A = this chain, B = another copy of it.
């Protein structure tokens, strides 16, 4: 592969001049510029990003460590992150933590070793010492979706309080009283917040949220299945199961189906996160939609602000309730996607 030296030789100039042309430095004669450009073309030369990064100490690359790529919510997030980054001249390296802290740390370390310019992370746990350390050393960093409390790092996320309140109001109006929740890991902020918001909303409607109606999940389908089976085997099963993410809702659906029960006649389902498939499940699922695309873009902008020395901004956007027919709504089902 041709190097800058080859180009210099071919153009009959020094490597410095070639570099100047490539970086559009003003002080190059039109003649030299022309010869360099021709040589670049003739040799199909492309600058070696590795060498350039070593010298300039910047890679124009962002790292994104997400909790689970197979979760459509995170996939969508990753996609919007990559798009915005590309638009701003950065590349993105994605690391999939699979909800496992060790794997998260592995990726963080690898990304740091590659000297990425900044890190976008949605922490799998609430306590990563490594992440705390990275933050302390001053690596540009932004939390997306989930965050770690007590660290002075911008957070870009959706706030589900209002939407969850709307959901509970909606369910209450439909006559449901026994509402259960499949919670996310307590170690994640999103895991906690959604349970808390749910509990508050219930209280506001004078409803109790007994411990038996709080199932501990881990944002994976299997846990949704397991928790739902437990709910169903209770002497008095809930009327509605609210899953704190879309995968656990999938698991809940599995469990209900395995019992030969019907949604919403026998039991209702609602989910946090809205995905295109929720329109087509049997029945379409009432869900809380996050502005995923905007979250990804805002996160990238915040991170690049830090990288380029501007003051970053935390962003919180509202989530919103999308009513369909999985909770016994009478409507000839409807509900749109993002």
* CB–CB B46/A113 < 8 A: yes
A94, CB-defined interface residue at 8 Å: yes
A51, CB-defined interface residue at 8 Å: yes
Pick from B110, B137, B221, B280: contact of A253, CB below 8 A: B280
A279, CB-defined interface residue at 8 Å: yes
Closest B residue to A91 by beta carbon equals B110
| Of A67-75, A150-158, A300-308, the one touching chain B | A67-75
* CB–CB A76/B82 < 8 A: no
Chain B residues contacting A232 (CB-CB under 8 Å) are none
Alpha-carbon gap, A275 to B46, bound state (A): 40
Chain A residues 86 to 100 lying within 8 A of chain B, measured CB to CB, are 86, 91, 93-94, 96
A112, CB-defined interface residue at 8 Å: yes
Pick from B59, B76, B282: contact of A281, CB below 8 A: B282
Chain B residues contacting A280 (CB-CB under 8 Å) are 250, 253-254, 257, 277, 281-282
Q: Map CB proximity to B onto A282-324 as digits: 1 under 8 Å, 0 otherwise.
A: 1110000000000000000000000000000000000000000
Chain B residues contacting A94 (CB-CB under 8 Å) are 94
Chain B residues contacting A221 (CB-CB under 8 Å) are 276
A42, CB-defined interface residue at 8 Å: no
Closest B residue to A256 by beta carbon equals B280
A54, CB-defined interface residue at 8 Å: yes
Chain A residues 37 to 71 lying within 8 A of chain B, measured CB to CB, are 46-51, 53-54, 59, 69-70
Pick from B75, B106, B250: contact of A277, CB below 8 A: B250
Pick from B46, B110, B276: contact of A250, CB below 8 A: B276
Chain B residues contacting A54 (CB-CB under 8 Å) are 48, 50-51, 54
Most B CB within 10 A of own CB, among A96, A137, A280, A282: A280
Closest B residue to A133 by beta carbon equals B44
Expressed in whole angstroms, the minimum distance between the Cβ of A86 and any Cβ of chain B is: 8
Alpha-carbon gap, A94 to B79, bound state (A): 11
A78, CB-defined interface residue at 8 Å: yes
Expressed in whole angstroms, the minimum distance between the Cβ of A176 and any Cβ of chain B is: 21
Pick from B91, B96, B113: contact of A47, CB below 8 A: B113
Expressed in whole angstroms, the minimum distance between the Cβ of A138 and any Cβ of chain B is: 10
* CB–CB A114/B277 < 8 A: no
Expressed in whole angstroms, the minimum distance between the Cβ of A233 and any Cβ of chain B is: 21
Q: A79 with B72: in contact, given A50-B115, A277-B277 (CB under 8 Å)?
A: no
* CB–CB A114/B46 < 8 A: no
A-B contact pairs, 28 of them (CB 8 A): A1-B137, A46-B112, A46-B113, A47-B113, A49-B113, A50-B50, A50-B114, A50-B115, A51-B54, A69-B75, A69-B78, A69-B79, A70-B72, A70-B76, A70-B79, A72-B72, A79-B96, A91-B110, A93-B93, A94-B94, A250-B280, A253-B280, A254-B280, A257-B279, A257-B280, A277-B277, A277-B281, A281-B281
